[in-house]
Chains A and B, each alone.
Chain A
Amino acid sequence: MFPGNVLSIEDLSVQAMEEIFQRAAYYKSEDRGVAFSALKGKNIVLSFWEPSTRTRVSFELAVQKLGGTVLDLRPEQNSEKKGESLEDTVKTLRSLGADALIFRHGAPGLFGRISRTVDLPLISGGEGCYQHPTQTLLDIFTMKEAGIVLSGLEVVIAGDILHSRVARSHLLALPAFGARVTLVGPPALLPRELVPPGLNYTYSFDDVLARGGVLYLLRVQMERHRRFFSSPGEYAALYGLNEKRLALLNNETFVMHPGPVNLGVELSTGALHILEANCPDKVLIQKQVRNGVYVRMAVLDLLLSGRMV
């Protein structure tokens, strides 16, 4: 059975994820600019409490392409200011006829608690530093689409692991598909207690560049970097993918990034241009963005139709 909510990648079995990928592939191949009807007559609330462009827009497009209606709950306009709790707000939305709620919020666990008392399907669009399940789904979909075999695949996840909800979702999902994950980042952003048993980690970026497979660069969360390093330049010198490091990079490596890229920090402009010029099929960043819409369509469709896998 497809779960009632998608809050953590743990909510999804491998089987459920495979069904999402199949459905996403179907929507991608059939997308001819005419709306589908899976969400016809359904009202989907979008409630983003943290900034977001691609996730938000891609969910919005996903609902529209499926023929549903998007209700935009803007935090600054809702009843929170009147002292209404978020739980009450969600209950109210339910009573008003909402069929699902897609949220992004900085406080992990808040919507999980609400899901226990309110009968309204919830989909996470990213929760603090906790989980970002649909990002992981679209990433794996993109890998498969590029012909990458996950079983035995070397995946290096590099950068600000500590603050990354994307990394936390991948740490659960990728090993389930048989991929071998190595984490790399500065010690301050890669606490060893965060590394699940059986996974490798290293503080040396240069040491993992020859691995091949997938190099997944994380966004350095500049708004959070505070005291972790003194300047973006200091970070880039040790952990940025620049032209010098491209020489060390195995040329079979696929490069991925959840976006938005901090150019000049985790990835230099020069390196990106060289990659895009010399091996465009190895840079999956734009494909990830594009696939986000179809994967989210699949999640919405399966979540609301509740079909068996």
Chain B
Amino acid sequence: MELLFRGGILYDPAAGWAGPAEILIKGDRVEAVAGSLGKVDLPVIDLRGKIVLPGLVDMHAHLREPGEEGKETIADGCAAAVAGGFTSLACMPNTYPPADNKTVVSYIRERARRTGLARVYPVGAISKGLEGKELSNMWELASEGVKGFSDDGRPVMDGGLMLRAMQFASSLQLPIISHCEDLSIAEDGVVHAGPTGYQMGLPVIRPAAEAAMIARDLLLQEEVGGKLHLAHISSQKSVAMLKWAAERGVPFTAEVTPHHLFLTEEAAKEFFSDAKMNPPLREIEDQKALQKALQKDLIGVVATDHAPHRPQDKENDFLSAPFGVVGLETALPLVITRLLCQELISWERVVEILSLTPARILNIPGGTLAPGSAADLVVIDPQEERPVEKENFYSRGRNTPFQGWVLKGFPILTMVGGDIKMLAGKVKGFSPDFPALINESLLKESL
């Protein structure tokens, strides 16, 4: 497709751009970006009053396929992604069977390719069967295209094994994405060790379970080098560990989820299992520390930890309900409403945390719309405001703790590789009324 976006405000910190821009798309690439490209004989999309950002990159999603298609499929997960403004996502290997071998990795990539919506980058398992006992064939996984390694969902409890994994991953120049949780401390906990959790009489996961494991990984990292990425940071104790490592000059990156940024343990009151996740929601001081760490770039990434479950599983009692919440269709408006609109971060920072930095960590296309880049972008109407309605999610998962939250900054157009995948909430190949032919007048109407 060849077309011109005109009149929108573009924020592209990697290219040093912040302001009105005309963006020329040719094929699957950005051809040119300029204040004015003069007269062109191309379909023009008028984006006056709209914001344009490089497509979002979620480096932490669970797509459940293969094996748990009742919870999510790669196709539905990708539809949810583009509906939420994400053009790329990394999916975690805890499928059935797990992505600890090239067959599963290639299956995931093939399913994603056939779906043809978002770019999907499988994360390979650190250990065989995610059991934390024996390293997976990391080179084999790397040659099949994984963009990182993780046993996410559970920690690598054996420090010696983690050390070897970090060493091997560094020779492959791929990141280790660490789920930090010392199980000997966390035991069978399901909620934060705070007043709400204790009042419900539920077993707890202390912040120290996370912080202790973060400290271990950072100490290993200091000796090994390579790329260490710490997943879903949840507590101020953990932030203190990050600060300590940053002061020592230990290289690392870290992510935080929207739910840890904007909720506390009280969301789980009255045994509300759609607010049950691991790590658990903590307290207001933790929430503040996480927001501050994100502002100060101790944490550089917002990732969803999108974890869809079937309603009947979540409707179980709190103890046996599975961990996790969906996030792809709420992350961007949450960040815009709760951080940008509160003037805690800038539009440039929104791009960094949701696009540029995760793209760089994974070493994948995206993160910028500089000429020659992949034409992956998202358009936002900053005026529109509406409640989160889980009934309308594309994801099979309805397990969100944000139901009914009135938010700004929902995306209205998502383009991947020069092709419009989502327009005004409708997803290509999913919504029966997604237009067969996108032309100028139709776009004018839709936007």
A residues adjacent to B (C-beta < 8 A):
106-110, 112-113, 127-131, 162-163, 165, 168, 191, 193-194, 196
B198 located at the interface, meaning its Cβ lies under 8 Å from any Cβ of chain A in the complex: yes
Q: Are B195 and A129 in contact (CB under 8 A)?
A: no
Question: Is B195's CB under 8 angstroms from A109's CB?
Answer: no
Closest to B192 in A: A193
Q: Contact between B319 and A108 (Cβ–Cβ < 8 Å)?
A: yes
In this complex, the interface size class of chain B, counting residues with CB under 8 Å from chain A, is 10 to 19
A107-B317, A108-B318, A112-B270 are contacts. A130–B194 as well, Cβ < 8 Å?
no
**Contact at B193–A109, with CB atoms within 8 Å?**
no
Judge whether B271 and A113 touch: CB under 8 Å: yes
Is the pair A193, B195 in contact by a Cβ cutoff of 8 Å?
yes
**Contacts A/B (CB < 8 Å), 27 sampled:** A107-B320, A108-B200, A108-B201, A108-B317, A108-B319, A109-B200, A109-B317, A109-B319, A110-B316, A110-B317, A110-B318, A112-B270, A112-B271, A127-B201, A128-B202, A129-B201, A129-B202, A130-B201, A130-B202, A131-B201, A165-B201, A168-B199, A191-B193, A193-B193, A193-B194, A193-B197, A194-B195
Give the residue among A109, A113, A127, A128 with the most B Cβ atoms within 10 A.
A109
Chain B residues contacting A107 (CB-CB under 8 Å) are 317-320
Partner among B198, B202, B316, B319 whose Cβ is within 8 Å of the Cβ of A193 = B198
- B314-331 residues with Cβ-Cβ distance < 8 A to A are 315-320
Rank and list the top 9 A-B pairs by shortest CB-CB distance, nearest first: A109-B271, A129-B201, A110-B317, A107-B317, A130-B201, A194-B198, A109-B318, A107-B319, A193-B194
Please, how many angstroms separate the alpha-carbon atoms of A163 and B202 in the complex? 9
Shortest distance between the CB of A216 and any CB in chain B (Å):
18
**Besides A108-B200, A108-B201, 15 other A-B contacts (C-beta < 8 A):** A106-B319, A108-B317, A108-B319, A109-B270, A109-B318, A110-B316, A127-B201, A128-B202, A128-B319, A130-B200, A163-B201, A168-B199, A193-B193, A193-B194, A193-B195
> Smallest CB–CB gap between A160 and chain B, Å?
12
B residues near A127, Cβ cutoff 8 Å: 201
Neighbouring B residues of A109 by C-beta, 8 Å: 200, 270-271, 317-319
Q: Which chain B residue has the least Cβ–Cβ distance from A106?
A: B319
Q: Which of B176-198 contact A (CB under 8 A)?
A: 193-195, 197-198
Query: How far is B223's CA from A125's CA once the two chains are assembled, in angstroms?
Result: 55
Closest to A194 in B: B198
Residues of B within 8 A of A196 (CB): 195
Q: Which chain A residue lies CB-closest to B273?
A: A109
A6 to chain B, nearest CB (A): 16
A130: B residues at CB distance < 8 A: 200-202
Distance in angstroms from B53 CB to nearest chain A CB is 40
The answer to whether B315 touches A113, judged by C-beta atoms less than 8 angstroms apart, is yes
Residues of B within 8 A of A128 (CB): 201-202, 319
Question: Which residues in A have their C-beta under 8 angstroms from that of B319?
Answer: 106-109, 128
Residues of A contacting B194 with CB < 8 Å?
Answer: 193
Residue of B nearest to A130 (CB): B201
Chain A residues, CB < 8 A from B315: 113
Cα–Cα, bound, A53→B317 (Å):
25
In the assembled complex, the Cα of A133 lies from the Cα of B19 at a distance in Å of 62
Q: Which residue on B lies nearest to A116, using beta carbons? A: B270
Contacts of B195 in A (CB 8 A): 193-194, 196
C-alpha gap A28/B320 in the complex (Å): 41
A130 to B196, CA, bound (A): 11
CA distance A113 to B314 in the complex (A): 11
User: For residue B197, which residues in chain A have a CB less than 8 angstroms away from its CB?
Assistant: 193
Q: How far is the CB of A234 from chain B (nearest CB, A)?
A: 20
Question: How many whole Å from B106's CB to the nearest CB in chain A?
Answer: 36
Q: Which of A106, A127, A129, A194 has most chain B Cβ within 10 Å? A: A194
Give B258-274 as 1s and 0s: 1 = Cβ < 8 Å from A's Cβ atoms: 00000000000011000
A165 CB contacts on chain B under 8 angstroms: 201
CA distance A163 to B318 in the complex (A): 17
Give the residue name and chain of the A residue nearest to B268 (CB): A109
Q: Is the CB of B199 within 8 A of A108?
A: no
The listed residue with most B CB atoms (<10 A of its CB), out of A130, A165, A196, is A130
Nearest-CB distance from B199 to chain A (Å)?
7
Chain A residues whose C-beta falls within 8 Å of the C-beta of B200 in the assembled complex: 108-109, 130
In chain B, what residue has the closest Cβ to A111?
Answer: B317
Quick one: closest B residue to A162, CB to CB?
Answer: B198
Question: A109 — nearest CB in chain B belongs to which residue?
Answer: B271
Q: In the complex, what distance in Å separates the CA atom of A165 from the CA atom of B202?
A: 11
Q: Decide yes or no: A191 and B198 within 8 Å by CB, A109-B270, A109-B271 being known contacts.
A: yes
Q: How far is the CB of B397 from chain A (nearest CB, A)?
A: 19
Closest chain B residue to A127, Cβ basis: B201
Q: Could you say which residues of chain A place their CB within 8 Å of the CB of B198? A: 162, 191, 193-194
Contacts of B271 in A (CB 8 A): 108-109, 112-113
Q: How far is the CA of A241 from the CA of B197 in the complex (A)?
A: 30
Cβ–Cβ < 8 Å partners of B317 in chain A: 107-110, 113
- A108 and B193 contacting across the interface, CB-CB below 8 Å: no
Residue of B nearest to A110 (CB): B317
B residues in contact with A131, CB < 8 Å:
201
- CB-CB under 8 A from B199, the residues of chain A are 168, 194
- In whole angstroms, how far apart are the Cα atoms of A198 and B318 in the complex? 29
Q: In whole angstroms, what is the CA distance A106 to B396 when docked?
A: 30
Shortest Cβ distance from residue A238 to the other chain B in the assembled complex, whole angstroms: 22
The CA of A162 and the CA of B199, in the complex, are separated in Å by: 10
Residues of B within 8 A of A191 (CB): 193, 198, 204
A196 to B198, CA, bound (A): 10
User: Chain B's nearest CB lies how many Å from the CB of A30?
Assistant: 36
Q: Give the chain A neighbours of B201 by CB distance below 8 A.
A: 108, 127-131, 163, 165, 168
Contacts of B202 in A (CB 8 A): 108, 128-130
Cβ contacts B267-284/A at 8 Å (1 or 0 each): 000110000000000000
Once the chains are docked, how many angstroms separate the CA of A130 from the CA of B201? 4
Least CB distance, A225 to chain B, in whole angstroms: 14
User: Which among B193, B195, B198, B315 has the highest number of chain A CB atoms within 10 Å?
Assistant: B198
Complex: A247 Cα to B271 Cα, angstroms: 44
The complex places the Cα of A242 from the Cα of B315 at a distance, in Å, of: 46
| A106 / chain B contacts, CB cutoff of 8 Å | 319
Minimum C-beta distance from A228 to chain B (A): 11
Q: Which residues of B contact A110 (CB under 8 A)?
A: 316-318
CB distance from A173 to the nearest CB of B (A): 14
Residues of A within 8 A of B270 (CB): 109, 112
Residues of B within 8 A of A193 (CB): 193-195, 197-198
Question: Among B199, B202, B270, which residue has the most Cβ atoms of chain A within 10 A?
Answer: B199
Closest A residue to B203 by beta carbon equals A129
Q: How far is the CB of B203 from chain A (nearest CB, A)?
A: 8
